[in-house]
């Protein structure tokens, strides 16, 4: 079983749709959680850190469920410019600075 698992998609949605990504992790010692966005042939860019209480940034909401060991990212009112690959990443306290990435979920927002 992979340490971090994500549905690879692709997700094809119309503009204005709400889309949700989930990511499960297997290491219960995992401590820090992140969502990154990666455009084609570019580097991953940090979208959000995920906190225990959940956090929101405009149209983006991230949540953490420690009991079920998953994190989620919700995008509301999706825009064409949201088309990208979304990567979840997990850092465990017993693995130093090692970030484990999910496989990434490709999102395509269509007009």
- Interface contacts to other proteins, rule CB under 8 A: 31-32, 34, 41-46, 49, 87, 89, 91-99, 101-104
Contact yes or no for 4/24 (Cβ under 8 A)? yes
Q: How far apart are CA 44 and CA 109, in angstroms?
A: 19
Q: Which is nearer to other proteins, 53 or 94 (CB)?
A: 94
Q: Which is nearer to other proteins, 75 or 89 (CB)?
A: 89
Residue 26's nearest CA partner among 51, 49, 53, 6 is 6
Contact yes or no for 63/48 (Cβ under 8 A)? no
Measured from the CB of residue 65, what is the shortest distance to other proteins in angstroms?
A: 19
Measured from the CB of residue 77, what is the shortest distance to other proteins in angstroms?
A: 25
Measured from the CB of residue 49, what is the shortest distance to other proteins in angstroms?
A: 6
């Amino acid at each position: 079983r992979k340490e971090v698992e994500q549905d690879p998609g692709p997700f094809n949605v119309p503009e204005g749709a709400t889309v949700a990504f989930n990511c499960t992790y297997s290491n219960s010692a995992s401590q820090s959680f992140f969502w990154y966005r990666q455009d084609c042939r570019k580097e991953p860019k940090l979208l959000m850190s995920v906190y225990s209480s959940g956090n929101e940034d405009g149209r983006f909401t991230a949540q953490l469920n420690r009991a079920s060991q998953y994190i989620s990212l919700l995008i509301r009112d999706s825009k064409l410019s949201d088309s990208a690959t979304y990567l979840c990443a997990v850092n465990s306290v017993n693995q130093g600075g090692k970030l484990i990435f999910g496989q990434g979920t490709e999102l395509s927002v269509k007009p």
